[in-house]
């Protein structure tokens, strides 16, 4: 999925791909903030809207993993022990918490503070994925299908 996402980004989001990595990361972190807002939008509380928000988040997560040069399959398997003490507070609170970790990394970079940016961004991103998988299971969604359908929608809308 990461390889497909990289090709998709290069073809359909060339403007964002042309940005330096810190600006691309900031752009993607803002997407996660937008999706956190969607989760509390009173007009978007049905299962279909949740599925779209989670699939959009998954896609943005793939893009971010590519920028960070992470092999998600391997990282998610490795992080199992790191997240073991983590108890999900629900997708909204999880997105807010892990999005905040990533936002802090972006802010620290702006100020050139001493901060392990890659670790914070990686931990935040993996937390978002854990939240997505948890919500997928809880709501009986099929993330692979939702992501594939979302890619098609984006690609049809952006035919060159």
In angstroms, the CA 2 to CA 92 distance is: 25
- Among 89, 90, 92, CA closest to 37: 92
Task: Find the helix packing angle between 117-138 and 47-67, rounded to 10°.
Answer: 150
* Total domains, the chain: 1
Tell me the whole-structure pTM to 2 decimals: 0.89
Q: What is the pLDDT of residue 109?
A: 83
Digit-by-digit pLDDT tens for the chain (160 residues) are: 999 999 999 999 999 999 999 999 999 999 999 999 999 998 888 999 999 999 999 999 999 999 999 998 888 777 764 554 566 788 899 999 999 999 999 998 878 888 888 999 999 999 999 899 889 988 999 999 999 999 999 888 876 5
Is the separation of the CB atoms in 151 and 143 below 8 Å? Answer: no
Range of the domain at 139: 2-157
- Overall size of the chain counted in residues: 160
Q: What is the pLDDT of residue 75?
A: 85
């Amino acid at each position: 999925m990461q390889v497909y996402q990289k090709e998709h980004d290069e073809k359909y989001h060339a403007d964002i791909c042309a940005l330096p990595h810190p600006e691309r990361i900031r752009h993607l972190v803002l997407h996660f903030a937008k999706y956190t807002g969607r989760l509390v939008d009173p007009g978007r509380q049905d299962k279909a809207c949740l599925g779209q928000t989670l699939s959009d988040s998954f896609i943005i997560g793939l893009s971010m993993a590519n920028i960070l040069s992470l092999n998600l399959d391997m990282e998610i398997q490795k992080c199992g022990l790191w997240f073991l003490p983590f108890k999900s507070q629900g997708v909204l609170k999880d997105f807010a918490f892990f999005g905040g970790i990533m936002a802090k990394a972006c802010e620290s970079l702006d100020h050139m503070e001493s901060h392990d940016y890659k670790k914070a961004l990686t931990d935040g991103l993996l937390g978002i994925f854990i939240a997505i998988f948890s919500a997928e299971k809880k709501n009986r969604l099929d993330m692979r299908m939702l992501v594939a359908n979302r890619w098609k929608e984006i690609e049809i809308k952006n035919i060159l």
